[in-house]
């Protein structure tokens, strides 16, 4: 039996510097220098990424924080209050970013600001409050919130940059695991289907391209190879045409429509997870349940679909 590989092990894998976490080799990048300027750049990048993946209309400038808070506090309708809370969270994050940017600018001209300075305390408090409100903010798909994204700017503010980057590799391994689980569930669902055939190679292509995409930085030259491969893999799945007899029954038509929609929704879920680079546990669990329901309804429950505790189709390790 080979010795188990410890998390954090680094090696050259297929000519790429890689680090091992929870069964997956992930491309390694040297963390940026742990300076105030580097931290500011990282927080800004994480905040932009956050707003790129959450519901529209909540990227409120920091200078409108007072307005956002007043609107949130006076709203009484629960549904509207949730949206006002999301807008307040956005304003809080932007206010924290504004403060941190100005602190860095002051330090650059020789003004010393200690960690317990009121400005720094306000910055941390804004991030903490935004993190709490972030629980009510939804992903842009409308399916669920993605709390992990709300926590990242706060971690970048409070942790050494190298520690923060280590946490990102752990999350990438979790993302890769869920990509494999979703892919395994889709293949298992249609393994006995007479309508959806030759699906496994397309799912394999999507899973491998998706895992490569989630580990690659946009500044990496490999993005010009990885992103097209991912886009083409998703297109091939979304264009699948069920095989129907010349005179299909209503039940066969319903099965074809439901099966096609299930595959397309699974592809969309993988895309959301890959682009956000964090797990979406609620959406993933609900999708795996839909796979089981489809098989029971249309194909018969001959065997169990891979669930949350299963190993999945692919071995993600060495």
Residue 64 belongs to what domain range?
36-159
- Is 30 a member of any domain? no
- Is 3 a member of any domain? no
More confident residue, 261 or 138: 261
- Is 99 a member of any domain? yes
State whether 80 and 127 are in the same domain: yes
- Is 20 a member of any domain? no
Of the pLDDT bands very low, low, confident and very high (cuts 50, 70, 90), residue 22 is: very high
State whether 149 and 70 are in the same domain: yes
- Is 213 a member of any domain? yes
Per-residue model confidence as pLDDT tens digits over 70-84: 999 999 999 999 999
Question: DSSP labels for the chain?
Answer: -PPPPPTT-EEEETTEEEEEETTEEEE--PPPP-SHHHHHHHHHHHHHHHHHHB-TT----GGGHHHHHHHHHH--SHHHHHHHHHHHHHHHHHHHHHHHHHHHHHHHTT----TTSHHHHHHHHHHHHHHHHGGGPPBTTSS---HHHHHHHHHHHHS-HHHHHHHHHHHHHHHHHHHHHHHHHHHHHHTT-SSS-S-HHHHHHHHHHHHHHHHS-TTSTTHHHHHHHHHHHHHHHHT------SS--HHHHHHHHHHHHHHHHHHHHHHHHHHHTS--HHHHHHHHHHHHHHIIIII--SSPPP-TTS--SS----
State whether 229 and 173 are in the same domain: yes
Per-residue model confidence as pLDDT tens digits over 88-141: 999 998 998 888 888 878 877 888 888 788 888 898 899 889 888 888 888 777
State whether 139 and 180 are in the same domain: no
Q: Looking at the 3D structure of the chain, how many domains does it have?
A: 2
């Amino acid at each position: 039996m080979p010795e188990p590989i410890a998390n954090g092990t680094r090696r050259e894998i297929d000519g790429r510097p890689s680090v091992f976490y929870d069964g997956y080799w992930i491309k390694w990048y040297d963390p940026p220098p742990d300076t105030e300027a580097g931290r500011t750049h990282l927080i800004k990048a994480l905040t932009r990424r956050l707003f790129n993946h959450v519901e529209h209309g909540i990227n409120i400038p920091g200078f409108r924080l007072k307005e956002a808070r007043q609107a949130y506090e006076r709203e009484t309708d629960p549904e509207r209050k949730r949206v006002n809370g999301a807008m307040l969270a956005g304003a809080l994050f932007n206010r924290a970013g504004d403060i941190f940017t100005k602190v860095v600018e002051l330090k650059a001209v020789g003004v010393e600001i200690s960690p317990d300075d009121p400005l720094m305390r306000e910055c941390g408090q804004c991030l903490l409050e935004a993190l709490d409100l972030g629980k009510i903010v939804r992903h842009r798909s409308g399916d669920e919130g993605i709390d992990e994204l709300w926590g990242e700017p706060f971690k970048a503010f409070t942790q050494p940059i190298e520690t923060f980057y280590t946490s990102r590799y752990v999350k990438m391994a979790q993302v890769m695991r869920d990509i494999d689980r979703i892919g395994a569930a889709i293949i298992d669902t249609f393994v006995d289907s007479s309508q959806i055939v030759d699906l496994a190679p397309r799912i394999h292509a999507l899973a491998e391209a998706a895992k490569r995409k989630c580990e690659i930085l946009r500044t990496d030259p490999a993005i010009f190879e990885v992103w097209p491969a991912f886009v083409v893999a998703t297109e091939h799945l979304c264009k699948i045409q069920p095989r129907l007899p010349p005179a299909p029954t209503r039940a066969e038509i319903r099965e074809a429509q439901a099966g096609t929609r299930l595959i397309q929704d699974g592809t969309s879920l993988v895309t959301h997870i890959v682009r956000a680079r964090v797990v979406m546990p609620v959406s993933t669990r609900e999708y795996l349940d839909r796979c089981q329901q489809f098989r029971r309804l249309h194909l018969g429950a001959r065997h169990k679909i891979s669930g949350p505790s299963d190993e999945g189709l692919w071995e993600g390790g060495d």
